[in-house]
Structure 1
Amino acid sequence: MTHESVPRAETPHELLAAVRELTRKVRAAQRGSWFPLLVFATITLLAIPVYRYAPYLDLFDTCRSRPGHTVCRQPNPTQLAYWTVALMLAYAAIAGFYVRQSRRRGVGTTIRPYVVIGIALAILMAAVSIWMALDPLLPIPVDPFSTDPVEIEVGPRVWLTNALASPTVVIGLALLVLAWVERHWALLAYSLGYLAVVVIMGGQVIHSTSQWWFLPHLLVPAVVLLLGAAAFALFRPAVEVEA
């Protein structure tokens, strides 16, 4: 009489390890961090001609003029319109990319929360910018043409409001959400670094008579985003998910 060995059933620990490994593979397959970074870098670079050549539309009556000189209290509303539309289109492109990727790899996508929150942040940016134009938080100088330095105390409320009105900061906040959605620690670290860069850049006052004075505020974030896109694309793992 012969005895055949019967395969032993997997232990609970082995099953748990298998589930965790499958979960890791699925999350890796769902990731596509390089593409949002590339899209955001593109719209940031495309903003340069808008900042330089778009005519100023004084929709909120913030400009004061004298012969040969005009001072406007708020950024050009054309720039705000550009960023609002560009961010909306960016999230539409990102959503389409993740849907196509999920179909190609045969896994679901969790990009919807990121796209929804990103669009909400873009709308909030526009609303805060308009509110700041109609009801400025900082005092308006009596003589807008004065070159004398004015000491203004900027509190947390002003700092937070200005941050929410900044397109580059809003992009960084959305990247934090993407890192949470993808459970991507490397993207989280990158997003925090990017936010630190744009916040520091936003706090820099550039004294220049050049019409290209804004370039550092756009080129630096764009370069950081391009480098991030290249790094995440270069080091993304080859993903295979078995059913």
Structure 2
Amino acid sequence: MTHESVSPTDSPHDLLAAVRELTRQVRVAQRGTWFPLLVFAAVTLVAIPVYRYAPFVDLFGTCRSQPGQTVCMTPHPVELGYWTLALVLAYGVIAGFYVRQSRRRGIGTPIRPYVITGVALALAMAAVSVWQAYQPLLPVPADPFAVDAADIALSPAAWLVNGFASPIAVIGLALLVLAWVERNGALAAYSVGYLVIVVAESSRFIHSSSPWFFLPHLLVPAAALLLGAAAFALFRPAAEVQP
């Protein structure tokens, strides 16, 4: 990153403009937007075999079984554990990337608020999921096998809690904090669009007997994250590309 020297004869207006331009250049040089998106895309894709092959442990005692079919009214404990651990580790990797980038470029990056917020959101997601196991947003039917997914109606409040408490949405909420940290309007717009997509997707019930029924809930956000990572990497300003 370069900056122009300031002449003693410059007016206060010129000095203020130079300071603002230097501040803008520093903020651009601090950015590494593509990397968090790539990390979370990888975390989301790795979740696919976890969802498919992890054995279910009826930790909360809410599962009902009949020949060839099991219905559980609570989150999958292994999936919940995966997301909590994976998100915390992901924020550690992201923090390491930004610290290394800062040392290489000689410009500090205020990444701590993003990492702290991300970890806090991951832990809050786990806490809300456990709370819903004991305080379900939907009444537990006496015969869950007789209930069709199309007949399930969520109130607006329950729809929002169910959507924003999902691990996929938690990623988007933390991205909004990253947009604030980087003063990145493009990332803010992307994060809002991402949240709209994933909240709508996570709140949609899929009625299927296939063991791969969950794929849309993971592939859609993973694709959005990969496309976002590619776009932010491709269109990085020159000040961001040069160490």
- If the length of structure 1 is used for normalisation, what is the TM-score? 0.92
| Residue type of the alignment partner of 2:191 | S
Whether 1:89 aligns to 2:65 is: no
- Counterpart in the other structure of 2:144: 144
1:65 aligned to 2:58?
no
8 Å Cα contact 2:98-2:111 kept in structure 1: yes
After TM superposition, give the deviation of residue 159 of structure 1 in Å.
2.1
Alpha-carbon distance between aligned partners in 2 of 1:162 and 1:149, rounded to the nearest angstrom: 15
> Aligned equivalents of 1:148 and 1:162: distance in 2?
18
Q: 5+ residue gaps in structure 1? A: 1-6
2:195 — aligned with what? 195
- Aligned residue for 1:28, secondary structure, equals helix
| Structure 1 segments (4+ residues) deviating >3 Å | 147-153
**1:8-157 alignment, distance < 5 Å:** 9-147=9-147, 151-157=151-157
Determine the structure 1 residue equivalent to 2:220: 220
The answer on 1:174 being equivalent to 2:180 is: no
Shift of 1:13: 0.5
**How far off is 1:48 after superposition?**
0.1
Q: 2: CA distance between counterparts of 1:45 and 1:123?
A: 21
- Mark the runs of 5 or more structure 2 residues left unpaired by the alignment: 1-6
Q: Which has the higher helix share?
A: 2
Figure out how many residues of one structure are paired with residues of the other and give that number.
234
Q: Secondary structure at 2:144's aligned position in 1?
A: coil
Q: 2:183 maps to what in 1?
A: 183
Q: Distance in 1 between matches of 2:106 and 2:151?
A: 59
Provide Cα deviations, 1:185-236, integer angstroms capped at 9, x if missing partner.
0001111111111012123222211100100110010011000000100111
* Maintained 8 Å contact 1:124/1:164: no
Report the equivalent of 2:3: none
TM-score (norm 2): 0.92
| Distance (Å, rounded) in 2 between the aligned partners of 1:149 and 1:194 | 25
SS where residue 64 of structure 1 aligns?
A: strand
State the Cα deviation string for residues 42-61 of structure 1 (Å, max 9, x = none). 00000000000000011000
Aligned to 1:237: 237
Secondary structure of 2:145 counterpart: coil
How much is the aligned-residue C-alpha RMSD, in angstroms?
1.6
What CA distance in whole angstroms lies between the structure 2 residues aligned with 1:177 and 1:115? 9
Matched position secondary structure for 1:239:
helix
- Secondary structure of the residue aligned to 2:65 is strand
**Superposed CA offset, 1:1-47 (max 9, x none):** xxxxxx76111001001100100000001100000000000000000
Give the share of equivalent positions with the same residue, in percent: 69
Q: Which has the larger radius of gyration?
A: 1
Distance across 1 between alignment mates of 2:60 and 2:204? 25
